[in-house]
Structure 1
Amino acid sequence: MPTTLIAFLGACTLVAASPGPSTVLIIKQSLHSRRSGFLTVLGNETGVFIWGVVAAFGLTALLTASEVAYDVMRIVGAVVLVGFGLQTLRHARRTKQAAGAEGAQGAEEPVWEGTRKGDWASYRGGLLLNLANPKAAVFALSFLPQFVPQGAPHLPAMVGLAALWAVYEVGYYGLYVWFVGRMKTVLSRAGVRRRLEQVSGGVLLLLGVRMALDS
């Protein structure tokens, strides 16, 4: 059992370390505030747990068996990603315009206290991005059963592993939020923050297009 647990946590680390849409969104939201970034993490991990529970009941097998169901979710996920990307790029442009207006008035460059999304919007963004990704559902179905201890009841073990996976990733992605917060002095400069938002918006947009074209 301890060996299985260590192997499971090691696999969770590799999964979390793989860059993806959730990582980009968490970093982007952390540029606003640690609170916003952490709530995005909680939303994302709620989605991880939901997909784990769905996989435990075997419902995600429907996605692998039905090409139509998978394609519908894939298109929905692509639309969500493109929407997040465009929203981020628009916000970066507004930040640039606001900085230009401040500069014309002779004011100092604005810092960290810019536009701040509500708590629910941050949580909802992380949750929606995860639930709209059909690959997350299929991955949970193939990932979790590998670590169910031999002889253990399948359903409770799968749900328990899903909960452990989500809690572990809260801690892992929390480090991202903490690191961005530690870099606050540099990242709070309007120019730096705008460039990071432009990059993250572009990445989310490209990921959305890639998901739409993926078969």
Structure 2
Amino acid sequence: MSTSALFAYVLVALVGVMTPGLDTMLMLRHTLLGGRRAGFRALTGINLGCLVWGTASIAGLTALLTASRIAYDVVRIVGAAYLIWLGASALWKSFRRHQAPPEIGVEPGRGALRAGLVTNLLNPKVGVFYLSLLPQFLPAGSGQAAWGALLVLIHVSIGWLWMGTVLLLAAQARRFLLRDAVRRWLDRLTATVLIGLGLRIATESR
């Protein structure tokens, strides 16, 4: 692979990672309502999902999502339902909660990692992103699997660096944002956004 092609890929991956989306929203929610540790667990789950999608793309499995509208829609609808469930359950808890500590605003422990992983795996656009992007930068000839693995790792590494930086900045603002009244409305706002994202994913076309 030429240096110019590698640089172009890094630039495209960086722009994709820096563009706010579902993964950023989920990571910020866990960081602000569950703390830095919960945020990093959610971020770990998100990047594990990227590794799974990247591996599947290299193996050619995600070609099914591009070729089959039914397969794509099944993953999309299940993912949308999961997002709506996450948002609705969080919204319900926010109205029932009174003086509980902010850490219960999101699932503790492994729940944050699971939420990041499942949300990413149930977003078919991640697989389509890899499948449409990687072939444009893979060199011809042998060794394409190794180059593909490298490109996936570069993308995940960029995601770690950028989203990790955003996470640390959000953690610094957490003390103000978790004042009782601010926390309650922040919890409801992020829960509503999750529901909205789920509805958008459920109703949009490919």
Q: Same fold (TM over 0.5)?
A: yes
Q: Does 1:209 align with 2:196?
A: no
Query: Contact (CA 8 Å) 1:52, 1:144: kept in 2 or not?
Result: no
Which of 103, 116, 121 is the matching residue for 1:126? Answer: 116
Which deviates more from structure 2 when the two are superposed, residues 149-158 or residues 67-76?
149-158
Q: Counterpart amino acid of 1:171?
A: L
Structure of larger gyration radius: 1
Which of 129, 133, 153 is the matching residue for 1:143? Answer: 133
CA distance, structure 2, for counterparts of residue 130 and residue 156 of structure 1: 23
Q: Which residue of 2 aligns with 1:184?
A: 174
CA distance, structure 2, for counterparts of residue 38 and residue 22 of structure 1: 12
Deviation at 1:164, TM superposition (A): 1.8
Give 1:79-98 correspondences, 5 Å limit. Answer: 79-95=81-97, 97-98=98-99
Q: Deviations over 1:195-215 (max 9, x none)?
A: 222111111101111111122
Change (3 A) 1:85 1:113: closer
Q: Which residue of 2 aligns with 1:69?
A: 71
Which deviates more from structure 2 when the two are superposed, residues 151-160 or residues 24-33?
151-160
Deviation at 1:76, TM superposition (A): 0.4
Change (3 A) 1:84 1:116: closer
CA distance, structure 1, for counterparts of residue 142 and residue 25 of structure 2: 36
Runs of at least 5 residues in structure 2 that lack an aligned partner in the other structure: none
Q: Counterpart amino acid of 1:201?
A: A
Instruction: Name the TM-score, length of structure 1 as normaliser.
Output: 0.87
Aligned residues: 203
CA distance, structure 1, for counterparts of residue 128 and residue 104 of structure 2: 38
CA distance, structure 2, for counterparts of residue 63 and residue 115 of structure 1: 34
Q: Counterpart amino acid of 2:8?
A: A
Give 1:153-164 correspondences, 5 Å limit. Answer: 153-164=143-154
Give 1:45-56 correspondences, 5 Å limit. Answer: 45-56=47-58
RMSD: 1.8
Structure 1's consecutive aligned runs of 4 or more residues displaced over 3 angstroms after TM superposition are 112-117, 149-152
Deviation at 1:114, TM superposition (A): 5.3
Find the residue that maps to 1:98 and give its secondary structure. Answer: coil
Deviation at 1:89, TM superposition (A): 1.2
Q: Deviations over 1:30-89 (max 9, x none)?
A: 011001001100100111111111111111111111111111111101111101111221
Query: Contact (CA 8 Å) 1:49, 1:165: kept in 2 or not?
Result: no
